[in-house]
A and B are shown apart, each in its own frame.
Chain A
Amino acid sequence: VQLVESGGGVVQPGRSLRLSCAASGFTFSNYAMHWVRQAPGKGLEWVAVISYDGNTKHYADSVKGRSTISRDNPKNTVYLQINSLRAEDTAVYYCARVRVSYDTGAYYAYWGQGTLVSVSS
């Protein structure tokens, strides 16, 4: 199992960014995927989840209304777009795969290496 995030970088406040997570080594279309972030020197914060079929999505209050999680099962990729970026969105963003197929639960058996998003003018 391998998860590789990309799309991070330095972005100005108010702009948008789309993160990608490319998956391999398992049947991607059978697993829900989550995004978790960690601000520098801080704890972990759950961000969003998308079900295996893309029909169910949930978001943290901190990003709700300005973020969209999506997936492309034929491309084995999950995305997180965040609009109207704020300084407090600065963090390492991890994608994570749940333990059990078809479950949207929070037991993340596999994680990517993370991609750093820095919101600064």
Chain B
Amino acid sequence: AIRMTQSPSSLSASVGDRVTVTCRASQGIRNDLAWYQQKPGTAPKLLIYAASSLQGGVPSRFSGSGAGTDFTLTISSLQPEDFATYYCLQDYNFPRTFGQGTKVEIK
């Protein structure tokens, strides 16, 4: 199975900060990667698919980049509603595998 490694596991940031989360795949996965946001007690929400395509309804402050093994999720200006846990997920082959998550907390 492809191993997805996110970094950092957690971070503290302030409203207005630029935040970057990275995800590394144990083998090349083209651009077959999604990013999800999850808030406590709720189902995850799709933010980015195909590494850099913004899902409809998601604010433009979210962006994704990368291909092959290294990917990045960027929040250009952190808003109060963005404090959550973020997961990457590879869509390259089965079994699908998630990263371990990155918790974004208020500084």
Report A's interface with B, CB cutoff 8 A. Answer: 34, 36, 43-46, 49, 58-61, 94, 99, 105-109, 111-114
Contacts and interface: CB of A to CB of B under 8 A. Distances in A.
Contacts of B90: 106
Contacts, number: 58
Interface of B is mostly: loop
Interface stretch (B20-28, B68-76, B93-101): B93-101
B34 A46 contact: no
Interface residues of B, number: 24
B92 to A, nearest CB: 9
Contact of A46 (B45, B55, B96, B100): B96
Given A107-B34, A109-B55, A44 B44 contact: yes
By Cβ-Cβ distance, the 3 closest A-B pairs, closest first, are A111-B43, A106-B91, A46-B96
Nearest to A109: B46
B45 to A, nearest CB: 8
Given A45-B98, A46-B96, A106-B34, A61 B1 contact: yes
Contacts of B91: 105-107
Contacts of B46: 99, 107-109
B97 A46 contact: yes
B34 A59 contact: no
B87 interface: yes
